[in-house]
Chains A and B, each alone.
Chain A
Amino acid sequence: MVDAIKIENVSKSYGELRALNKLSLNIKQGEFFGLLGPNGAGKSTLISALAGLLSTDAGSLSVMGHDVVADYRQARSALGVVPQEIVMDPFFTVRETLEFQSGYFGISNNSQWIDELLDQLGLADKANSNMRQLSGGMKRRVLIAQALVHKPNVLVLDEPTAGVDVELRQSLWRFVRRLHREGHTIVLTTHYLEEAEELCDRIAIINKGELIALESKEDLLAKGLGNTLLVRSKQSINSVPPSYESKVSRLEANEVEIVLNREVDSVMQILDDLRQHGLDIEFVNVMNDSLEDVFVRLTVAPGGAR
């Protein structure tokens, strides 16, 4: 089966700034894929290249097997993009906006699907309102509807929940999960890492235009990054045994946090060593790493600079 998205050795520079650096990535059909990275990592550049909004310096991109340059008609027909910025055409109503967008994709009678989109996205009572009269959250819903008017195989959501209230966020994810169940490939970029952790099957992390991780969510969470052991002593803690010093992530007052490597570290052994070092242990907790912890470790260079 052809990949939903295939990105091969794509590079893009803006003057001295290298936004994408020989980036390669395949996304299979039916995946719920997370594309993560800090601000300026190249996520939006990659999505723009995929959507034909900008040209690349090198490499190739395809959607459902169609090259985004040579077969742009088929590639764009297979792709729906929800842009990061809230944009709208202030002249038209919500329904007009969606009817025009359908027509742009060559669909002349799309009322039934438009009604369903309006209903699913909680826009039914706003159908005849002018776009200018909508709140930011409502405009965001219209953007999502616009990306879906032509029922694309692949839906790319570029930070769709930025600045969106909890209710919309939940209803949006319900709807996107439904689309995913129905066979759509979903590509999500988000700053809310818990969203990616909750929704995505596979996650890519890019930083400075390069792919630094591409794993299933489970593998990424378990990728030698371990958990954290919290130990609280009855007295203040001044030091730990020298063999653990490099693993201490926090040492304050009577608490110490030690990063565990799941494959080699034994919690019981560490606790024994700490007791022998003179700690009178009062409380112990093993904390699971979140995707956020993994993300920060992968994208933050030693010394804290991104």
Chain B
Amino acid sequence: MNAIATLTLLKKEVKRWRKVWLQTVLAPVITALLYLAVFGHVLEGRVEVFPGISYGAFLIPGLLMMSVIQNAFANTSSSLIQSKVMGSIVFVLLPPFSAFEMFLAYIGAAILRGMAVGVGVFLVALFYVKVPPVHDIFLIIGFAVLGSYVMGALGLIAGMWAEKFDQIAAFQSFLIMPLTFLSGVFYSINSLPPFWASVSYLNPFFYMIDGFRYGFFGQSDQPVMISFFVMLSAAVVLTGFCVKLLATGYKLRDA
């Protein structure tokens, strides 16, 4: 393991999103805030998902996690597709990186961007809604890290697979966005008709949101350990898959 090389690539990837923070951090924070303002205003007092918890407070963990995972995905996918299209990927392919070192650096940067956006959403949301209770801070951090890890890995796969920017956009519009919106960010899946509730259990994003929300309220649709196990399994499988793709140079080398 070459720690200097891995940390340098991580530093470069973090610096990349920090240099365009308006687009990579502030914009998603504003988007989350708009969701919160509109849905919170319309549904506050009309809907109570968990007993004793206002809709606005219920919404915060879901929106926060949605922002975290979407930006973790965006970070790896956009970094890879940009460097592939512009040809600068060669600067990472020529040095003696192992596949696992590359994976760690890209995922680390995705997690840090996810966290930066998450903290931003939380801080800004505090001005609008009563602070939701914190049941278990370690679960909150654990699910945020696992969620952004999994989504960073999916972004890595999308970035390697895509050859054009519009393919990444399609991936986001037709897969990430629907799965996120249908994962229970805005509602409890127990409020759905039985069929759609069952379908929701097949949505891996549901476990990210549900487990994360448990960290705040101590209440969830699924037992939190099941969500944690699903997330951990997804992380292990995706790690193996990504490292294999990076080792073979899928659509990076031989391109």
* B19 is an interface residue with CB less than 8 A from chain A: yes
**Known contacts A87-B86, A89-B88, A91-B15: A104-B254 contact under CB 8 Å:** no
Min CB–CB distance A79 → chain B (angstroms): 8
Point out the residues of chain A lying under 8 angstroms from B96, CB to CB.
72-77, 105-106
**Known contacts A52-B253, A55-B249: A106-B5 contact under CB 8 Å:** yes
Q: Give the dominant DSSP class at B's interface.
A: helix
Min CB–CB distance B87 → chain A (angstroms): 4
Nearest neighbor of A147 in chain B, beta-carbon distance: B94
Point out the residues of chain B lying under 8 angstroms from A89, CB to CB.
83, 86, 88, 91
Residues of A88-120 contacting chain B, CB below 8 A: 88-92, 96, 100-108
Point out the residues of chain B lying under 8 angstroms from A38, CB to CB.
none
**Known contacts A51-B94, A52-B93, A101-B95: A91-B16 contact under CB 8 Å:** yes
Using an 8 Å CB-CB cutoff, how does the interface string of B84-103 with A read, 1 for contact, 0 for none? 00111011111111100000
* A53 is an interface residue with CB less than 8 A from chain B: yes
Min CB–CB distance A99 → chain B (angstroms): 8
The stretch that binds A, out of B6-14, B33-41, B134-142, B159-167, is B6-14
* B2 is an interface residue with CB less than 8 A from chain A: yes
Min CB–CB distance A273 → chain B (angstroms): 58
Min CB–CB distance A151 → chain B (angstroms): 14
* Number of A residues with CB within 8 Å of any CB on chain B: 32
* A153 is an interface residue with CB less than 8 A from chain B: no
Asked whether, in the complex, the Cβ of B94 is within 8 Å of the Cβ of A76, the reply is yes
- Which of these, B12, B20, B90, B95, contacts A76 with CB under 8 Å? B95
- Which of these, A55, A74, A81, A107, contacts B94 with CB under 8 Å? A81
**Known contacts A85-B87, A92-B15: A55-B8 contact under CB 8 Å:** no
Point out the residues of chain B lying under 8 angstroms from A77, CB to CB.
96
Asked whether, in the complex, the Cβ of A103 is within 8 Å of the Cβ of B11, the reply is yes
* B202 is an interface residue with CB less than 8 A from chain A: no
Min CB–CB distance A240 → chain B (angstroms): 54
Asked whether, in the complex, the Cβ of A55 is within 8 Å of the Cβ of B87, the reply is no
Task: A253 to B240: give the CA distance in the assembly, Å.
Answer: 75
* B225 is an interface residue with CB less than 8 A from chain A: no
Task: A53 to B90: give the CA distance in the assembly, Å.
Answer: 8
Asked whether, in the complex, the Cβ of A107 is within 8 Å of the Cβ of B12, the reply is no
Asked whether, in the complex, the Cβ of A104 is within 8 Å of the Cβ of B87, the reply is no
Point out the residues of chain A lying under 8 angstroms from B5, CB to CB.
103-106
**Known contacts A53-B253, A104-B5: A88-B94 contact under CB 8 Å:** no
Min CB–CB distance B26 → chain A (angstroms): 17
Min CB–CB distance B117 → chain A (angstroms): 19
Point out the residues of chain A lying under 8 angstroms from B15, CB to CB.
91-92, 96
Binding site for A on B (CB under 8 A): 2, 4-5, 7-9, 11-12, 15-16, 19-20, 83, 86-88, 90-98, 249, 253-254
Task: Name 16 extra pairs, CB < 8 A, besides A92-B19, A103-B11.
Answer: A51-B93, A54-B254, A73-B2, A76-B94, A76-B96, A79-B94, A81-B94, A89-B83, A89-B86, A101-B91, A103-B8, A103-B12, A104-B92, A105-B5, A106-B5, A106-B96
Pick 25 A–B contacts, CB within 8 A, sort by A: A53-B93, A53-B253, A54-B253, A54-B254, A55-B254, A75-B96, A87-B87, A87-B90, A89-B83, A89-B88, A90-B86, A91-B16, A91-B19, A92-B15, A92-B19, A100-B91, A101-B91, A101-B95, A103-B8, A104-B91, A105-B5, A105-B96, A106-B4, A106-B5, A106-B96
